[in-house]
Structure 1
Amino acid sequence: MCKKAFPDSQIVKKITLKKTKISYVIQDGIAFHENQSLTDVCRRQKFSIIIDESTDISVSQILAVVVRYFDTSIEDVADALLDTISVENGTAIGLFTAVKDLLKKKSIPLSNVIGFGSDNCSTMMGVKSGFQKLLRDEIPSVFVIGCVCHSFALCSSHAVSVLPSYLEEFLANVSSYFSQSGKRQRDFVLIQEVTGTSIHKIPKLAQTRWLSREKIISAILEQYDAL
């Protein structure tokens, strides 16, 4: 990449970087200075935080802390990863303490936080003891918003509650019927060929991947003759 970016550089032409060296260059060089620059921005001006928890390959709980701020260099709002925190206590107070300690370690005033965004789980958005409640206790004026996709999913689920429940069960049953059997999938391909239907698989229905409902409905309508 460097050789293509700087074709006129005699120094770059002689650079050779393998996995170990490039890892150090990115993590301890580029990433370090990028993070220092971002930390300086958060010290000087207001920003919002967006957090989400995940589990890595070693089954450790990782909390990603993203900041949203106005970037004067591009005259626009920007999002950037401030840091990732390994947390042992996944409760609201544990996550809140971890974020506070991170800001304190970087000498970023907690009062600079003007907004908070996260998913809608009770740990994050609980009104009595969630992360947002603990944050509001410290910063009463903070603006809080939950996951818009999750909110739309809840609205949609409530809106379709007037429909018979077997409709969603039907989607799940069709999906699992094929996903659990390679023989059924092979037989389905033969039937698709006979009926002249496009050879497409029936996708899986995921409870937490709301767009999967649209995909499986479209697939069933397309494959209806073969089914």
Structure 2
Amino acid sequence: AELLCDLQNKKYTIIIDESTDTSVLKHLCILVRFLSDRTKNIATGFIGLIPVQEATGENIFNLIDEEITRSGQNLVNCVGFSSDGASNMIGCNNSVWSRLKEVSSNCVQLTCTC
């Protein structure tokens, strides 16, 4: 709750990654990074770990949007997006990135190359 209060109306970066557990279920981890007025440092907060039924760009974007909205934030305030280099994440068309860019035109993409 303290994290969400600290994040209110701030610009932030979304960091996401998918993982498949031993039972072959996919999950999406969503983190945010932002400058905390309270601590005067960069803060990283856990938003959610969500099961993923379909790993399309559209579905993952919708899951992110739902979780960010549920946390009381707005995707318009997202200024950075970090993910792996998969086409459903950062492709030019029909990806999470292409959809996020429509909502937050000032957002920049940071791709992990590992």
Fold-level similarity (TM above 0.5): yes
* Counterpart code for 1:83: G
Shift of residue 77, structure 1, vs aligned partner = 1.2
Does residue 42 of structure 2 align to residue 42 of structure 1? Answer: no
Match of 1:84 in 2: 49
Question: In the aligned structure 2, how far is the partner of 1:110 from the partner of 1:56?
Answer: 28
* Counterpart code for 1:38: L
Question: In the aligned structure 2, how far is the partner of 1:56 from the partner of 1:41?
Answer: 32
Match of 1:119 in 2: 84
Unaligned ranges ≥5, structure 2? none
Q: Deviations over 1:188-221 (max 9, x none)?
A: xxxxxxxxxxxxxxxxxxxxxxxxxxxxxxxxxx
- Among candidates 60, 63, 73, match of residue 108 of structure 1: 73
The alignment yields a C-alpha RMSD, in angstroms, of: 1.5
When Rg is computed on C-alpha atoms for both structures, the one with the higher figure is: 1
Match of 1:155 in 2: none
Q: Are 2:47 and 2:67, in contact at CA under 8 Å, matched by a contact in 1?
A: no
Question: In the aligned structure 2, how far is the partner of 1:102 from the partner of 1:67?
Answer: 11
Question: In the aligned structure 2, how far is the partner of 1:57 from the partner of 1:76?
Answer: 36
* Counterpart code for 2:31: V
Q: Where in structure 2 are the equivalents of 1:1-227 lying within 5 Å?
A: 36-147=1-112, 149-150=113-114
Higher relative contact order (CA 8 A, sep 6+): 2
Q: Are 1:38 and 1:82, in contact at CA under 8 Å, matched by a contact in 2?
A: no
- Structure 1 runs (4+) greater than 6 angstroms displaced: none
Question: In the aligned structure 2, how far is the partner of 1:42 from the partner of 1:72?
Answer: 9
Question: As a proportion of its length, which structure holds more strand?
Answer: 2
